[in-house]
Amino acid sequence: MLKKLIPREQVNSIYELELDTLWKQGYRGIITDLDNTLVGAKAPFATPELIEWLKVVGQIGFQVVIVSNNQRTRVTKFAEPLSLPFIYRAKKPTHASFRKALNMMRLEAGQTIVIGDQMLTDVLGGNRLGLYTVLVRPISPTDEGFFTKVNRTLEKAALKMMKR
């Protein structure tokens, strides 16, 4: 279980991802978390920097699906202006929404990257399905809700145990 919390790659932000390398390695799809991964948990819309990044991602050829545990209104309002497919109330780390996202892109697990800021939802869920998992530093940790804060505490405990 603990091993499944370890991401394949850890970066400060999505902008550090080596997209060309990942493409050459055969990856074709990106399943990305929303809150604190693409923008801060309380930022309603994409930043110009993110819009530019998504453009590059699309130009390389990657498909992108936003998979968020947040509510419909939050995710819809954010994703629709970007014309990106999305899944809300995803119940990560459970399998269903990751599978649904793979089906939407018509891709296999081995061709797909998961990006997120939480080990217990994004990384755990992605690792269990054999996706390439990337953990980013949360953009605005102070804006997180109660359950996310609980998850952070569990993450820290898990990391401590693994270091032993």
**Which residues in this chain contact Mg ion in the complex, by CB under 5 A?**
33, 35-36, 117
Closest approach, Cβ 26 to Mg ion, in A, equals 26
Select 7 or 117, whichever has its Cβ closest to Mg ion.
117
| Residue placing its CB nearer to Mg ion in the complex, 28 or 131 | 131
**CA-to-CA dists, residue 47 to 3, 30, 40, 112, 114, angstroms:** 34, 19, 10, 24, 21
Distance CA 106, CA 55 (A): 21
- Check if the beta carbon of residue 122 is closer than 8 Å to that of residue 108: no
Smallest distance from the beta carbon of 112 to Mg ion, in angstroms?
Answer: 18
Minimum CB separation of residue 117 from Mg ion in Å reads 4
| Nearer residue to Mg ion within complex by CB, 62 or 117 | 117
Residue type, position 86, single letter: F
